[in-house]
Structure 1
Amino acid sequence: MLVPQNTRQGLFRRLKKNILFLHVPKCGGSFVEQTFLPWILKCPSRRLREARGHLTWCEYAGVFTRNGIDLGAMHVFTVVRNPWAWHVSWFHYLKQDLGRGRSGMPTEVDLFQDYDFSDYLRWLADDDAPTSPSRYIRKQQIDYLTDETGRIAVDRVLRQECLCEDLQQMASDLDLAVTVCDRRANASAHGHYRDYYDDFGIDLIARRHRDDIATFGYTF
């Protein structure tokens, strides 16, 4: 069924004022925020102190409810990526965060300075290993996106592997006047993620991210 033009225009106007980028860490979020900055700056997640950081959908729902904001009226989008690549990105990011200011994960930053990637994987395999309170790394990506029943609650899931194309499609769908660069300026310089893994690591990530893999179809 075709949506009347005036209804579509009203929808676009509403969405432009009500976009929430749910930022799963290490999934190209800086590039997304740069692209959609005029609209992201209008979002309550930037105005409310308790809404800052890498919140899950359920955490946003709680914060917004306490502040009288209707999360259901917002167009919520996010970005996911291959879990094996996600962990390689985390490892390098934390080893380089010597000032501890960007990550907010001082425990991991201290530990990983003397780690190679195989050490990192063995740390990840130990559920009792020291970790920062946020436990960002120990979540599955889908944990950020689901409501209290386990249902995916975001409206749109983009993929880091084809992020420019997905952002262009989103901008077109929502009639947003943005320019999406054809390549990411801050792409990581480390090698291909497959070069970091042995059989132990491949199986570890497959087990820890079984829901991500089942939902988004990622393979090693």
Structure 2
Amino acid sequence: MFLHVPKCGGSFIEQAFLPWITQCPSRRLRDARGHLTWRQYKQVFDRHHIDFDAMLVFTVVRNPWDWHVSWFHYLKEDKGRGQSGMSTEVQLFQSFDFRDYLSWLADDEAPTSPTRYIRKQLVDYITDDQGRMAVDTVLRQERLEEDLRTLLENLDLAPAVPERRANSSTHADYRSYYDDAGIELVASRHRDDIARFGYTF
């Protein structure tokens, strides 16, 4: 089971596991579609009498500062196509620069889509009700090809690592987007991610 944290290399992973990934319950079940958290998947699979605990679950995480730059560009480029399913953010961000985005992020009362994807920490997607890590394997976006190759070898699986990234972005290095206040904002909002995965700016 691949638990797809949004904006963390999911298209690359899905490309590697085609066509088998289409048989994953997260793709077949209507109420399991989208970027659900581990806890939400657990509820859905329990309703369908699928033993989630018996699955090997893996995911991909990403540097939080880089994650927000990726979100910003992805939603600005959606421009009404509906690919993101986040119409509120898409509409807002068309007139935003990245400083505006950070101001929006800092305001917990700012308009947001019901999914609140961007308002979560990465660990919110992959921990259980007690805050314990619920996935078996965590790959890193920063070394995704290497980590995926290792996973496939360890599991003795046949899929090949794709030769290039899907949905690769062309924006500048994420560090160029931040001033000190922005660095601290993301550090504060992602304190659990930083503690768990050791990310630094």
Aligned to 1:72: 53
Return the letter of the residue paired with 1:128. Answer: E
2: CA distance between counterparts of 1:183 and 1:216?
A: 25
2: CA distance between counterparts of 1:151 and 1:169?
A: 24
1:35 and 2:8 matched: no
- Cα deviation code 1:137-176 (max 9, x no counterpart): 0000000000111101001000000000011001101111
Aligned to 1:193: 174
Q: Deviation of residue 183 (structure 1)?
A: 3.3
Indicate which of 18, 40, 49 corresponds to 2:30.
49
The answer on whether the counterparts of 1:164 and 1:183 sit within 8 Å (CA) in structure 2 is no
Aligned to 2:138: 157
1:102 and 2:78 matched: no
2: CA distance between counterparts of 1:63 and 1:185?
A: 28
Q: Deviation of residue 38 (structure 1)?
A: 3.0
Aligned to 2:70: 89
1: CA distance between counterparts of 2:178 and 2:116?
A: 22
Query: Secondary structure in 2 aligned to 1:129?
Result: coil
Aligned to 2:41: 60
User: How many residues of Structure 1 are paired with residues of Structure 2 in the alignment?
Assistant: 201
1: CA distance between counterparts of 2:94 and 2:39?
A: 33
Return the letter of the residue paired with 1:144. Answer: Y
1: CA distance between counterparts of 2:109 and 2:80?
A: 25
Q: Deviation of residue 186 (structure 1)?
A: 3.1
**Normalising to structure 2: TM-score of the pair?**
0.98
Q: Deviation of residue 185 (structure 1)?
A: 4.3
The answer on whether the counterparts of 2:2 and 2:58 sit within 8 Å (CA) in structure 1 is yes
Structure 1 runs, 4 residues or longer, greater than 6 Å off? none
Larger radius of gyration: 1
Indicate which of 147, 155, 165 corresponds to 1:184.
165
1: CA distance between counterparts of 2:197 and 2:83?
A: 28
Gaps of 5+ in 2: none
2: CA distance between counterparts of 1:132 and 1:46?
A: 22
Aligned to 1:118: 99
1: CA distance between counterparts of 2:163 and 2:27?
A: 27
Gaps of 5+ in 1: 1-19
**Normalising to structure 1: TM-score of the pair?**
0.89
Aligned to 1:172: 153
2: CA distance between counterparts of 1:166 and 1:198?
A: 31
The answer on whether the counterparts of 2:15 and 2:162 sit within 8 Å (CA) in structure 1 is no
Q: Deviation of residue 37 (structure 1)?
A: 1.9
Q: Deviation of residue 184 (structure 1)?
A: 1.5
2: CA distance between counterparts of 1:152 and 1:196?
A: 31
What is the aligned-residue identity percentage?
72
Which of the pair has the greater relative contact order for Cα pairs under 8 Å at 6+ separation? 2
Return the letter of the residue paired with 1:131. Answer: T
